[in-house]
Amino acid sequence: MATGGAGPPEPPVHPTPLAARQSRWIGQGYADITKLREMAARHDRAAARAQQRASRLQTKIEKLRHQATVLREKGQRALGEIPDIEHQMKQHERDIEAATGRSGGAPLGSDVTSLHYRVRKLQQKIVDRQQKARALELRAATKTQKTAELKVKVDRYVEAARLEEQEAAAFRQRADRLQMVTEQDVAAHLEKSAAPAAPAKASPPDEPPGTL
């Protein structure tokens, strides 16, 4: 009969069907958590992409607005030159009247015809300035219309980003709740599996027979 040494090895503990189902359920729970967080990350990426597009369009809008402002300023400068040109025309017309009055009905001289030519050139300048101002205003209006169209796209992208952020937040909340429940189940499962071994460790050793 053996009197010492290590005791017989404990038989392997085979998991019960209930424990196996619980283990599979816990594993499925962690897989679901991973899937939910993956979905949240996808929605976050979509929201960031929409925000990036909106930001680029905003930059383009500001550029078009600046260009439209510059064009309108050029048009106003072109129109601002007209009063000086008209003043020169009036001066030439007074000179023509004075020269005609001095001639007393005689044929017009070269000095008078030169003044007439200058008046016509000044009139052409006025028309050219007006046409230039209208063309610049048309270009500015086109750019302003383009900014309005881009603003609609920006609003659409901003709304899409907001919806994607809401979806991402919802998936994260679901993942957090599921993780909390899964961790509680894991803790309960570990407590149950460790409960039968506790009394065996706490029992005192048997006294050998014949001791006084």
Q: What angle do CA 150, 152, 153 make, to 5 degrees?
A: 65
Q: What is the pLDDT of residues 53-63, one digit of tens each?
A: 999 999 999 99
Question: Is 189 contained in some domain?
Answer: no
Instruction: Identify the residue whose tokens are 């016509």.
Output: 120
What mean pLDDT comes out for the span 62-66?
Answer: 96
**Closest C-alpha among 110, 112, 121, 120 to residue 94:** 112
148 is in which domain, residue-wise? 27-184
96, 122 in Cβ contact below 8 A? no
Whether pLDDT at 33 is above 60: yes
Task: Return the percentage of the chain with pLDDT > 70, whole number.
Answer: 69
Question: Is 16 contained in some domain?
Answer: no
Question: Is 67 contained in some domain?
Answer: yes
Say if residue 204 is exposed, middle or buried (CB neighbours under 10 Å; 0-12, 13-18, 19+).
exposed
Question: Is 94 contained in some domain?
Answer: yes
Residue 194 tokens, joined = 């460790």
What mean pLDDT comes out for the span 1-12?
Answer: 51
What mean pLDDT comes out for the span 84-98?
Answer: 89
Whether pLDDT at 47 is above 90: yes
Q: Which residues 6+ apart lie within 8 Å of 75 measured at CB?
A: 132, 133, 134, 136, 137, 140
Number of domains the chain is built from? 1
Question: Is 9 contained in some domain?
Answer: no
pLDDT for 111: 78
**How many Å apart are CA 32 and CA 170, to the nearest integer?**
14
Residue 88 tokens, joined = 């020169």
pLDDT for 116: 87
Question: Is 200 contained in some domain?
Answer: no
Instruction: Specify the higher pLDDT residue, 83 or 101.
Output: 83
**How many Å apart are CA 121 and CA 85, to the nearest integer?**
10
Q: What is the pLDDT of residues 171-205, one digit of tens each?
A: 999 888 888 887 776 676 666 666 554 454 445 55
Question: Is 138 contained in some domain?
Answer: yes
65, 148 in Cβ contact below 8 A? no
Q: What is the pLDDT of residues 135-172, one digit of tens each?
A: 999 999 999 999 999 999 999 999 999 999 999 999 99
**Domain of 126: which CATH number?**
1.10.287
Mean pLDDT of the chain: 80
**How many Å apart are CA 55 and CA 111, to the nearest integer?**
64
pLDDT for 198: 46
Question: Is 207 contained in some domain?
Answer: no
Residue 137 CA, chain-centre distance (Å), reads: 31
pLDDT for 209: 47
